[in-house]
Chains A and B, each alone.
Chain A
Amino acid sequence: QSALTQPASVSGSPGQSITISCTGTSSDVGNYNLVSWYQHHPGKAPKFMIYEVSKRPSGVSNRFSGSKSGHTASLTISGLQAEDEADYYCCSYAGSSTLVFGGGTRLTVL
């Protein structure tokens, strides 16, 4: 059960769009449409942003969107805002009632 692979960091200017990738295997991301994404401002509780690959919970801005192709899931944030600066984690169901997280991506808004 290895961690999903995410880029360590991404950056973008206000108003731009960025995409964070999350690569797994046929045992997790590639086999289930059960990928979720979390926003984490250090020192605070993580916030649930996307579930089942592309669904947004109520209250989450439509600037956040998710997708998946093969073994790689992606989170896209459009119209970047200063408050989007945070760490982002993907999470996938990995079978047998277990979960696996990605290593996390630090988003910097320039």
Chain B
Amino acid sequence: QVQLQESGPGLVKSSETLSLTCTVSGGSISSSSYHWGWIRQPPGKGLEWIGSIYYSGTAFYNMSLKSRVTISVDTSKTQFSLKLISVTAADTAVYFCARQGWGDAYSVIDCWGQGTLVTVSS
């Protein structure tokens, strides 16, 4: 059974870069059937899709974050990563990594990490 685990600093200073990594275990990150995504939830608010990446390296982003976000994949380490630059307090959130389907199943998010809280401090 596929498991995802987020890792990275829980505290980031304002204007700096947020960096998180998701490690995939129990399954292949190079499967052609899935994309690998990042989703966040600010405190007291709803979920927000950040973006996703295919094993080939092709990435897709939420247009509202596109200028600040980069998602990358390292198939040799079975990991994919999120970088968000120029963070502000509004980027404080629980960040989830997740597995999304491919094609018509793109909106199917069938496996999630437990989430990691990242706080942006001034």
* Residues of A that sit less than 8 Å from B by CB: 1, 3, 34-36, 38, 40, 44-46, 48, 51-52, 57, 89, 91-93, 96-104
Contact = CB atoms under 8 A, between A and B. Distances in A.
B108 to A, nearest CB: 5
Contacts, number: 68
16 contacts: A1-B64, A34-B104, A34-B107, A45-B96, A45-B115, A46-B47, A46-B112, A51-B105, A57-B110, A92-B107, A93-B107, A96-B60, A97-B106, A100-B49, A101-B48, A103-B46
Given A36-B108, A48-B108, A98-B61, 11 more contacts: A1-B63, A34-B106, A46-B47, A91-B47, A93-B106, A98-B60, A98-B63, A99-B49, A99-B100, A101-B49, A102-B46
Interface residues of B, number: 25
B2 interface: no
Interface in B15-50: 39, 45-49
A40 B109 CA distance: 13
B72 interface: no
B106 A101 contact: no
A1 B62 contact: yes
B84 to A, nearest CB: 17
A45 B112 contact: yes
A87 to B, nearest CB: 8
B108 A98 contact: no
